[in-house]
Amino acid sequence: MSGTSNTYKFCRLITALGLLCTAAGAADEGGAPAKQPLRKFTARNIVIYTDLPNVDAREALLRVTAMTQMFSRRIEGFPGEISRDLLFYFYRNLQDYRASLNPSPAAGSCGVYTGGELRAAIDIPKFSRRSVWRVVQHEGWHGFAHQVITPKGRQLPIWLDEALAEYFGEAVWTGDGFVTGVIDPQRLRRVQKRIRTGQFRPWKTMITLPREKWGEKLNVVNHDQVWSMAQFFLHADGGKYRKSFAAYCRDIAGGLEPLPAFQKRFRQEPELLQKAYEQWWLGLGENPTAGLYDEITIRTLMSFLSRAYTAGAKFKSAKEFFVAARAGKCNVDRKKTPSRWLPDHLLEKALAEAKKYKRWELTAGKQGRPVLRLHRPDGTTLTATFSSDGKTSSPKIMVTAGK
C-alpha cells in the first residue's frame, strides 16, 4: 500500500495474513541493541540506509537489486523507467523501525512503503528471514509501481496493484535472481476452500473496486483472491492468458478503465473467465509447483557452483562439489568481491533440500564449464548451466526439463 492512512490499516492486517511478518520469537522489544548510525550502500538506482551488520547489509543490497530487476523484466506490459533512486531504510531491530515512522505502525508490522521510501525491520531474531523478505518484496512492488509505472500521480487499480505485490512477495531468491509462480501448499488449500465456500468477490466487483473500498475492509480474503488471480493470469494452462494479461496491463498504464480493458483483452465478461479460474484452482494437486521448488534448489546450487568455478575450483563429480560446498569452499570473499558474494545461509538451505534426491550428476559443458543435473524419481531431469566470461557479474542460468 502507498503512504496513506490505508498503509497503516494494512500493517494491522499483517499478523492475520501470516504472509508478511510472522514472529519467530517473542515480540518483546526489551534488550534491543544500542541504536547505530545508518550507513549508506548503493547500487544502480538503489540507495539503502541501514544499521545492519555489513554482511546483512550486503545481502540486502543484492536482494533489492535482484528484486528491482525482477519487477522490470517479469511484467512486460508496463512501460516506464527508473528515473530516480529507489530508497530503502533497513533497521536491525524492530524498535528503531517503529520509531522511524510517524504515526508508528501497528504491532506486527515489519515493513511499509510510505509513498517516498520503503522502511523495514530486518530483525531476524523476531521475524523469520522468509517473512521479512516477503514484506520487502510486497512493499517493494508498491514503491516500484508508484515511482516507475505511475509517477505522475495516477494509481493502478487496487486489485492489480495488490495482486502483483502479493505475487512478487511469494517469489524466492536464488542468489542470481528470483523464481516466481510458486504456490505454497497451505495457501493453495486456503484458496480452494474460499472458492468452494463462495468467499471471493465476483470478478467484476473486484476489478472495478475503488481504492477507498479496499481500505474499508482489509482482510486476508482480499489478498488471497487477487494473488490467486495473478497466478491464474500468468501461469494457468501453460501461460494461455499471459499475453492478454500483459496487454491489459499496457492498457491500464495508458489510462484505460479496468473493466473496458478487461473486456477488450480477454474478449469475455469477467464472470465467465472467473469460472475457468475456479476450475483451474480446484483442479490443482496438493503441491502443483513442486518442480519450481526443485528449480529453486538447483538454481541456488548453480549460483555457488558458478562462482567456485570462476574462482578456479574444479570438481570431478556432484558428490565432490557437495562435500566442498558443505565445507564452505564454494563462496567468494565478501570483502574482495562483494558483488559476487552470496550469504552462506542460502547455500545451506539448498544443500539441505538437495538431500531429498539421490541422483545428482556433474559434467563438463562448453569450455569446460560445469553442468549440474538433478534426476528426479518421476523420470524428469533438471539441468542447470551458466555462461560467463569470468569478468561479468552474475552468470546466467538456464534450467531445462525432459524425460
Q: What is the pLDDT of residues 308-323, one digit of tens each?
A: 998 899 999 999 999 9
- Residue scoring higher pLDDT (94 or 10): 94
Residue type, 376: R
Q: Please identify which residue in the block is written with the cell numbers 493453495.
A: 188
Find which of 155-159, 281-285, 383-387 is predicted with most confidence, using mean pLDDT. 281-285
- Residue scoring higher pLDDT (144 or 29): 144
Q: Which residues fall within 8 angstroms of residue 165, CB to CB, at 6 or more apart? A: 138, 139, 141, 142
Alpha carbons 375 and 361: distance in angstroms, whole number: 8
Say if strands 381-387 and 396-402 run parallel, antiparallel, or are unpaired. Answer: antiparallel
pLDDT of residue 1: 47
Q: pLDDT for 81-130, tens place per residue?
A: 777 899 999 999 999 999 999 888 876 789 999 989 999 999 988 899 99
Alpha carbons 184 and 161: distance in angstroms, whole number: 21
Looking at the DSSP bridge assignments, the partners of residue 371 are 363
Using the 8-state DSSP alphabet, how is residue 366 labeled?
Answer: G
Cβ atoms 160, 249 nearer than 8 A: yes
Q: Exposed, middle or buried, 185 (CB in 10 Å: 0-12/13-18/19+)?
A: middle
pLDDT band at 398 (very low <50, low <70, confident <90, very high): low
Residue 148 predicted with pLDDT over 90: no
pLDDT band at 233 (very low <50, low <70, confident <90, very high): very high
Q: How does the average pLDDT of the chain come out, rounded?
A: 86
pLDDT of residue 294: 93
Q: Before 260, cis peptide (omega within 30)? A: no
Q: pLDDT for 348-364, tens place per residue?
A: 999 999 999 999 999 99
pLDDT band at 386 (very low <50, low <70, confident <90, very high): confident
Mean pLDDT over residues 188-203, rounded?
Answer: 97
pLDDT of residue 15: 34
Q: Exposed, middle or buried, 402 (CB in 10 Å: 0-12/13-18/19+)?
A: exposed
Residue 391 predicted with pLDDT over 60: no
CATH architecture group of domain 5-177:
3-Layer(aba) Sandwich (3.40)
Residue type, 360: W
Residues of the chain within CATH 3.40.30.160 domain(s) are 5-177
Q: Please identify which residue in the block is written with the cell numbers 512501460.
A: 79
Residue 6 predicted with pLDDT over 80: no
pTM over 0.85: yes
Residue 20 predicted with pLDDT over 60: no
Alpha carbons 65 and 244: distance in angstroms, whole number: 28
pLDDT of residue 388: 61
| Least-confidence region, from 189-198, 204-213, 227-236, 386-395 | 386-395
The total of other beta-carbon atoms located within 10 Å of residue 270's CB is 19
Residue 283 predicted with pLDDT over 50: yes
Look at residues 130, 132, 182, 184 and name the one whose alpha carbon lies nearest to residue 349: 130
pLDDT of residue 400: 59
Residue type, 50: T
- Residue scoring higher pLDDT (13 or 230): 230
The total of other beta-carbon atoms located within 10 Å of residue 196's CB is 11
| Cα 22 versus chain centre, distance | 16
